[in-house]
Amino acid sequence: MDAADRPVDEYYSRGVAAQLTSAKAELVDAETKLEALRTELDQVEKMAKKYGDAMSQQESVKRSLEDNLAFRKGKEEAERLAAEIERLNNSARSRYVYSNDCTGN
């Protein structure tokens, strides 16, 4: 029976039971920390998505405003050109009428 008890005695004399208990406690602690880190990572990813969505929305608003400004500038240029054409047409008509009045036609 001594030979059969020897491994058990060595197990206890080397403190393997205490080491095993300590290792289990460290494993539980590490798993708890890992879970806390996963939760924190989830929160960070949610915030990153929220900020990314906000940035996308701001970029969309910026493009819309830039398009609106370009449209207004183009509209103002078109109105200026239309007024210039109208002025030139009126000037040409005045000359045509004046030249016909002078020639008697």
pLDDT tens column, 19-38: 889 999 999 999 999 999 99
Distance CA 68, CA 79 (A): 16
Dihedral angle over CA of 52, 57, 61, 66, nearest 10? 40
Single pTM value for the model: 0.52
Distance CA 75, CA 73 (A): 5
If you search the block for the tokens 């290792």, which residue do you land on? 23
pLDDT score at 25 = 97
Instruction: Enumerate residue ranges in the chain where pLDDT < 50.
Output: none
